[in-house]
Structure 1
């Protein structure tokens, strides 16, 4: 691929065929459009985005403010419904599901890690981690829970409440909760945004390495080139369109390409 410094501004956008392979796909979008507002002037947030992310991949999504990053995450995760187009998670076309069925599907097949952790303040670490499984009406796998908490570095903190944790520890709980149900894909929205640089790097490395060992698919939306550089590939959005892809990126490459998009 042409380096970011020489990539022409008019380069054709990646297609579903060039962003991953359909076989073994964890996430697939086909010509997804999303508009907000009604007539006479709806605001387009996504404009025909197509992509396929293979199982076990670690992908970062970047772009200038207003490029459609959060909308892409919301549509891919089933938190929002595309105006047109189709979305699959695993083998399920979630864009065709009724609201109740979509809610049940998300509980069982989609994990979330957010910037502000989204932990329940009055619940313990253990209860927060188990929460999605309990809401799905399933019995938690206690052996898997112990293994995961050890993997994440939370052994001995099982009975603590979120208020008794540091920011880095709280985000580790959020990561454990996202991974506990062994979902098809984990979506992370600015997962290190509320952390200092060193803690953020530690948490991101933990998420990447743990996901790799578990063969877990992760999609991270970020504005931070250092976060993006920890991924296997970076997908770049501009004006609601998928315009570029960087494989095995460095922070310098990501920064250079983002500056180009900004101009």
Structure 2
């Protein structure tokens, strides 16, 4: 089946040379990609993971990214978060173009402005819950805010568990620690790669609700990669990838809409 024509992503991307906050009176988008390509390997055997992806996400939005296996979902997330470098194209988080920063500055920028929730949690086994959550701020050389730590642990249902090690936690609790860690530095954007993929459906639904409500209360922008239509249906919009291209968007999605669209893409 032919890949459908790309659907414009809100709002339409400006010219690549314009600054994302250049329009008078308009806040900078939380995340902006312009004509992003990502290829792995050398020609002629290079594999194109992303092919000219452009998108703009407003502050406070909650977005799911979906697509068939190999469509470029995780690559998009890693490039947008500054964990990987695009072959070409430009990426802004807030008012900062990631590619324009020196490597050391990129690392500092990610610690301060980007939160990432990994599918396998990536917790440090010998650190307790509190130290795992504080870790990005400590690595940045800043003083952790004790009151904020207590508030955040309470918000994610981990109050009283500050001294536990990851090995003493259930999968759902470990994922809550990962979410708290991603939110602790008050980042501009939080990226989550299959945040419920390793959890049972009940725990996954609870974790997703927690991520959405906590991020909404903090004014965070959240981007979730998922294969689960139920997860996507909890988001404000779904961006659909196929063959490394952004091909469609569903606003106010239902699980049934997402399932039907995914079946079309897989056909």
TM-score for both structures, normalised by structure 1: 0.94
Q: Is the 8 A contact 1:19 1:53 kept in 2?
A: no
The aligned residue for residue 119 of structure 2 is: 115
The aligned residue for residue 219 of structure 1 is: 223
Alignment partner of 1:205 is 2:199? no
The aligned residue for residue 161 of structure 1 is: 165
Q: Is the 8 A contact 1:13 1:243 kept in 2?
A: yes
Output aligned runs, 1:1-263, within 5 Å.
10-15=4-9, 17-18=11-12, 23-263=27-267
Q: Is the 8 A contact 1:29 1:51 kept in 2?
A: yes
Partner SS for 1:28: strand
Alpha-carbon distance change, 84 to 9 in structure 1, aligned in 2, over 3 angstroms: closer
Give how far 1:41 is off.
2.3
CA distance in 1, matches of 2:43, 2:28: 40
Q: Is the 8 A contact 2:115 2:187 kept in 1?
A: yes
Q: Which moved more, 1:157-166 or 1:8-17?
A: 8-17
Partner SS for 2:53: strand
Q: Is the 8 A contact 2:9 2:249 kept in 1?
A: no
**Residue segments in structure 2 that go unaligned for 5+ positions in a row:** 15-19, 22-26
Q: Is the 8 A contact 2:13 2:34 kept in 1?
A: no
Give how far 1:166 is off.
0.6
Give how far 1:95 is off.
1.6
Give how far 1:234 is off.
0.2
> How many residues are aligned here?
256
Give how far 1:19 is off.
7.8
TM-score for both structures, normalised by structure 2: 0.92
Partner SS for 2:68: coil
CA distance in 2, matches of 1:42, 1:17: 32
**Residue segments in structure 1 that go unaligned for 5+ positions in a row:** 1-7
